[in-house]
Amino acid sequence: MGVATLEKPAEAPAAQMPEQAEKLVIFAWSGELDKIWPTLILATTGAAMGKQTTVFFTFWGLFPLVKNDVRITGENWMQKMLSTMNRGGTGHLKLSKMNFAGAGKAMMMHLAAEHHVAGPQELMALAQEMGVKLVPCQMTMDLLGLKREDLIDGLAEPAGAATALADAQGAITLFI
């Protein structure tokens, strides 16, 4: 009987395989409304599905993290000019095309409200509540003259590309 048992396929190995956590890592490079929107929709959806979700904000993607009431950022005239031309904050986003000096954007926000689709400001708050890790890229913060106090509360510690890539191994990865 002992022998018979030996021939039985012992336990289902699946149960002993190391569980790979489901992960989603988004590299948010773009600062435009129509790019930050899918970033936040995917991030909140991923978190709702139980995926460990990280958004790494870099380059133009940092500007939506600026507090809405911060007008000008940067230490030297070049960084200041950049922030003047490209005002930060989820309340000041533009469409990447068909913005028409704000008319296209207004239309899009109107349509979203009509269809009960949350805007970027709500989605950013929702992402934080759901535990999405929002990481600003330290190197581009330095480059663009963005300081930690310019950015909204509730973000993870600023980090670099290596941290983002370490998170990304085995994850769904998207560069948006």
Bridge partners, residue 175, by sequence: 27
Q: What is the Cα–Cα distance from 146 to 152, expressed in whole angstroms?
A: 12
Q: What is the Cα–Cα distance from 139 to 92, expressed in whole angstroms?
A: 23
The yes or no reply on residue 21 touching a copy of itself (CB under 8 A) is no
The yes or no reply on residue 50 touching a copy of itself (CB under 8 A) is no
The yes or no reply on residue 18 touching a copy of itself (CB under 8 A) is yes
The yes or no reply on residue 101 touching a copy of itself (CB under 8 A) is no
Q: How far is the CB of 13 from a copy of itself (least distance, A)?
A: 4
Comparison of 40 and 134: residue with beta carbon closer to a copy of itself = 40
Per CB under 8 A, the segment of 47-55, 63-71, 119-127, 146-154 that binds a copy of itself is 47-55
Beta-strand pair 172-175/23-28: parallel
Using the rule CB under 8 A, which residue among 57, 60, 64, 132 binds a copy of itself?
Answer: 60
Contact letters for a copy of itself, residues 142-161 (x by CB under 8 A): xxxx--------------xx
Binding residues vs a copy of itself (CB under 8 A): 2-3, 5-14, 16-18, 22, 24, 27, 29, 34-35, 37-38, 41-42, 45-46, 48-49, 51, 58-60, 78-79, 81-82, 85-86, 97-98, 107-108, 110-112, 115, 117, 139, 142-145, 160-162, 165-166, 168-169, 171-176
